[in-house]
Structure formats: structure tokens, C-alpha cells
Chain A
């Protein structure tokens, strides 16, 4: 059971932060379909830096510090990449779906082209001492073990970021301004808020978080392989964001529920009761998706979708 919950946290962390990334963009009024691409791009940049650090012997004594530095670097690279989306969706008022789709195609293409050209392989395997990332405290009491043993520092950073940013977007002045641009940009502009700036802020924060999520994904769930795919995690995060009704608490619940259900399959062989049932892996794989659908159908409520989402800001519109 402890093992299951540990796994759940590891799996849910990237989902959590990327879903929050989606929320930041959409709350400012930009549909960020490019989450998947931003994750791929950020993770790839992070992997290159991690490789460089290990080969150059930097941070060889403090692997956790290196992990944090690389994580931040992934976020920054991804934030810069997301400026492409802002440029097209905010400044040039292009169709936001097209921009997002283009970035989703561009990121894997860039990763493949550069990885093959520079490293002669479509995959970048992380360095050998990669295991050092894992925090091991097997002596802790069971309940604390869930959080303290076999954990990654990225999970803690993600949870802290999630809480801080959730409070920030609801309780601070800039956060409220950002949200107002997703609901009624003309009204926001009428009280002196710069809609373009706010939307740029929203998508850039979104890109930053997606990059962090991307690196956290490849470093933990994907066992340190950076390639041109993050297993559909970005789209899944988008779904979790919609599931959470564009609200942090809903997103947290959704990510944890999904993570838990997703991890039952891999763990089932070590739980006697489930092992006796002998169900195929595919059955467990399907469970989380079906449960999300059923929950959505039952809780069919008023959608919390930001009203101005996906509509380019037009000063003259009424």
C-alpha cells in the first residue's frame, strides 16, 4: 500500500504541475494546446544540460542541487519556447489551436533533428549515476515513508510551486488581473489593465511550468530517457485541467485520483488480492480513463471554462 501511494505521488506530480500550467494560460484567455510540445522541449533542454554537467563533473558531489538547477533550466527553455505561442496567439491574433498544434509538431521535430544530428541517436539517455536522484529513507514510519522514501526532490518542488502559484493567482492583485483577462478582457482593459501583457504573463508562466513538468516526467516516470515524446502526458494534463474545472483544487484532486488509478496496474502484482484475480494489464490501464469519464458524466455541472478563452483580444469589440 505504501508503495502504491509512493508511486502515485511520483506519477501525479508532473500531471499536477502541467495541468496547472494549462490553467494559467487558459485563465489568462489563451488555449494552451502546446503543453505536450512544451514538455518535450523543456525536458530535452534539461537532459542536454544534465548530460553536460555530468560529463564536465560539475555538481558531482551534490546531485540534488544539480537536479534543481536542471529543473529550472528546463522551465526557462520551455518558457522561451512558449513565447512562440504568445507571439502567434496574443500579438498576431492568430487561431490559438493552430499555434498550439504547430508547437506540438515543432517540438518533437526539433528534438529528433537535433538529437540525431548532435548525439547520433533519437533518444538521450541520462547519465549512469542517475539513481542518485532518488531520496531513500527506508527507516521512516510507514505513513511518513509515503512522502519521504523513494521520493524525488522534484515532487516537493512541484507541490510547493503548485500551492504558491494557486494562492498567487487567487489572492494577489496581478493574479486577479490575469484571471480577469480570461473572463472579459474588454472590461479589464477599461480599468487600465494591459491585456496583452497579462496574456503574455499567463502563457509564459504556463510554458515554465510545463517545462518543469516535462523534466520531472522524464527524470522520474520515464526512467531518464529524453526523446520526442512524453507519452501523451501533456494532453492528459489538459484533460485533468478540464476535469478540475479550471480550478487548482479540482486539478489536484484529478491528478491524484488519476495517478492512483494509473498506478494500480503496475503495482497489482505485489498486492495478493489483485494478483489472485489475474486480470490482464490492459484492464488496469483502461480503469483511470473510464473512471474519469464516469465521474465527468455524473458531475455534469456548469463548466468553469474562462469565457474569453480562445478569443484573440480585440480592443474595439463590445
Chain B
């Protein structure tokens, strides 16, 4: 019985992978059609370019030409994926608690502000050990800023029953204005270099940037640093917390049915606030590890006018990974993989935004992934309906502990559902 259950689960996993692959293929196919369309409208592009464009796109960082560029772009791909992982996990954990965290952008900015306020105000040039300490402090302060910022929508939701979406949107813009305001009031942090306007100095000037831990040797010329390790670690921690601890179970219970959770004696208000605070902290760490890199500059003077893309791109990363923190890691890397391919597209006459179109299409088709896997399931069921029924009967005949196995084995949902519905139909 157990082995049978396992094989069934494997089948289900196989199906969802199949469905994801179908989504990706469908997205790429439609993206290719767009490229062909563009080649008709634009005289400079031929249809042949559409094919080479597709190859470049699919090659991601590997289509960057020489080995040196490939390695640099691969490193950068991983570096740019790390904040995306953080905002993605941030949206995912809130989603598991039944909340839609559209405020990752504001939390990301608050984290950036907290981290940069610490790192740029303390100069540790020439003292590597102290630099690392300040860096840790900076990340922590950023995370705390983000947690407080994330807790606000949770607080409004829990105590005033105000929809978290509206509070998140409001706090996003408040955060953006505060960040611009604070750094405008600190002229000593502004980069006064030639041709620079509205940028802050970077951690390169204060000597407490994110440690490279040798990754800059491995991926020479790229920005890659310890940040990706932090991002993956935090994602794993959140995964374990959600799936293996009582607190994680409570969060998921609140998401599944908040009245049920309350009835079972869980403090649903506390859980909502904590979930949002953790989500805020995660998005904030994303901002901190991104801008603490010595090579990344923060443009503060226009921050109030446009929210950072990382905040909103966390939503598709979470949705595509069906709110599983581990899946979010891979999805983020995949999104960045396609984006790097997009950056290489101009060599075929297209612009990099084709990659954005394809990513958006893949997310669009991801909405149908349930439908895809249901279709796959139906086909399989039809094909195997007869033999499966015979097998089951035989298995029950030979098994001496039928009752025990039934009570012990967790029966998969879809098995429970379909026969029940058929029976209902018969009754009616």
C-alpha cells in the first residue's frame, strides 16, 4: 500500500513538472511568434533573425559570446536573482497565511535605507574584520526596518479589518518618499563624483560591502557575493519553518481558514502580524544584500517617483513557484536566466524587452497549470481505468490488514474527490 501511494505521488509530481514545462514551452512559443511579427513590421529584421533570436534567448548567459563574458554573466545572473528570491519568498510566506503582500517594494526600500544608513555612516576602510561586523549589523538593521514596515499592514488587517492590499499600496509610496527624504537630508552620503547626480556613495567607499567569499574569483568580473548564500539559506529556513514547525503550521492554518484556526485556539491576529513582519523582513534583506554590494549604486533623488521593480517581480516569482520557498529559488534563477538572454538579444536586432514578454506569458500560462495537470490526469485515468480497478481489487484481496492501512495511509485528495462526486450524481 505504501509503495503504491509513493508511486502515485511521484506521478503527481511528474504531472506538475510536465504542466510547468508546458507553460514554459507555450510562453516561449508565443514569444517567438511576437518576434516573427516584429520582423514583419521592422525592415531591419528578417525572419531568420527571429530564429537566431530564439536561440540567443534560450541560451541565457551562455549566449554571451566568449567564455569570459559567459562566466561574468552567469555570476551576475545569480547575483541579480538573490534579491528576487528574497522578495519572492516574502510574497510566498504572506500568501501561505492568506495575505497578498503587494508591499514588498516598500519593504525592500525600507531595508535598503536601514542597511545603507548603517553601512555608509561607519567607515571601516582598511579594517576587514570590522567591516564584516558592520555589514552584519547593516543587514540586521535593514531587516528590522523591513519587519516594522511589513507589520503595519498586518496590524491594520488584524485590528481594524482593513484590506492588506490597500495598506500595502499606501505604505509603498510612503516608504518611497521617506527614503528620498532621509537621504536628501544627508548630503554627506551623496556621491559628488563627476557626472553623478542623485546617487549615494557605495560601500566601496566605506569598506564594508558584502563579503565576496571567493565568488568574485570563481565568477571573475561579476558582482556575485555572499548575498546569494544568505538568500538561499533564508529561503530554506522559511521552507522548514512553514512545513515542519508548529508556528509554520499555524500560519498555514490561518491562510487555509482563519475562522477554523481561531476555533482551534490559534491566535490569528498575532499570526497575521507576524507573518507580515517576517515577509517584510525578507523583502528588506533583499534590498540590503542588493545595495550593500560595493558595485551597486542607489539613486535616491528619484526613488519617491517609482517603486523598485524587485518588489513587484517578487509576486510572479512566488506565484510561479506556487508559494514554495525552495521552488522560488529556482524560479528566480530561471527568470534571471531568460532576462540575461534578453540582454544578449540586440545582437539579433531585437531589444531586451522580448524576454520580459516571454516571462509575462509564462506566468500567464502558469495560471492554467492546474488545468494542464488535470487534463493530463484525466487522460491517464481514462487509459488506466480498467487495469487500475482490477489491480486494486487484487491488492485488497491479498492484503490482510486492509483496515489498518486505510486509517494510516494519507489518501491523496483527488482519489477522495472524484468517486464521491460520482456517487452524489447517482444519488440525485
**CB pair A300 B370 closer than 8 Å:** no
Question: Is B363 positioned at the interface, with any CB of A under 8 Å from its CB?
Answer: yes
Task: Mark A125-144 against chain B: 1 for CB-CB distance below 8 A, else 0.
Answer: 00000000000000000000
A117 to B41, CA, bound (A): 9
Stretch of A96-104, A165-173, A188-196 that contacts chain B: A96-104
Kindly identify, within residues 269 to 288 of chain A, every residue whose CB is under 8 Å from any CB belonging to chain B. 280, 282-283, 285-286
Which B residue's beta carbon lies closest to that of A84?
B364
**CB pair B180 A94 closer than 8 Å:** no
Q: List 9 A-B contacts (CB under 8 A).
A: A92-B367, A94-B368, A105-B316, A106-B361, A109-B356, A232-B172, A238-B165, A283-B181, A293-B167
Count of chain A to chain B residue pairs whose CB atoms are closer than 8 Å in the complex: 141
**CB pair B356 A113 closer than 8 Å:** yes
Contact of A112 among B156, B306, B356 (CB under 8 A): B356
Question: Is B357 positioned at the interface, with any CB of A under 8 Å from its CB?
Answer: yes
Question: Is A243 positioned at the interface, with any CB of B under 8 Å from its CB?
Answer: yes
A142 to B167, CA, bound (A): 37
Contacts of A187 in B (CB 8 A): none
Residue numbers of B with Cβ under 8 A of A are 34, 38, 41-42, 100, 102, 156, 160-163, 165-167, 169-174, 177-178, 180-181, 184, 304-307, 312, 315-316, 319, 350-351, 353-354, 356-357, 359-361, 363-364, 366-368, 370-371, 421
In the assembled complex, the CB of A182 is this many whole angstroms from the nearest CB of chain B, namely 16
In the assembled complex, the CB of A291 is this many whole angstroms from the nearest CB of chain B, namely 10
**CB pair A116 B371 closer than 8 Å:** no
A282-B177 CB under 8 A given contacts A242-B166, A293-B167, A297-B160: yes
**CB pair B170 A98 closer than 8 Å:** no
**CB pair A88 B170 closer than 8 Å:** no
Contacts of B319 in A (CB 8 A): 95, 97-98, 101
A106 to B163, CA, bound (A): 26
**CB pair A242 B165 closer than 8 Å:** yes
In the assembled complex, the CB of B303 is this many whole angstroms from the nearest CB of chain A, namely 10
Contacts of B34 in A (CB 8 A): 113
**CB pair A280 B41 closer than 8 Å:** no
Contacts of A303 in B (CB 8 A): 161, 163
**CB pair B305 A296 closer than 8 Å:** no
Question: Is A57 positioned at the interface, with any CB of B under 8 Å from its CB?
Answer: no
Number of interface residues of A (CB under 8 A): 48
In the assembled complex, the CB of B423 is this many whole angstroms from the nearest CB of chain A, namely 13
In the assembled complex, the CB of B35 is this many whole angstroms from the nearest CB of chain A, namely 9
A289 to B106, CA, bound (A): 13
Question: Is A292 positioned at the interface, with any CB of B under 8 Å from its CB?
Answer: yes
In the assembled complex, the CB of B92 is this many whole angstroms from the nearest CB of chain A, namely 13
A238 to B102, CA, bound (A): 12
**CB pair B367 A102 closer than 8 Å:** yes
**CB pair A93 B181 closer than 8 Å:** no
**CB pair B363 A102 closer than 8 Å:** yes
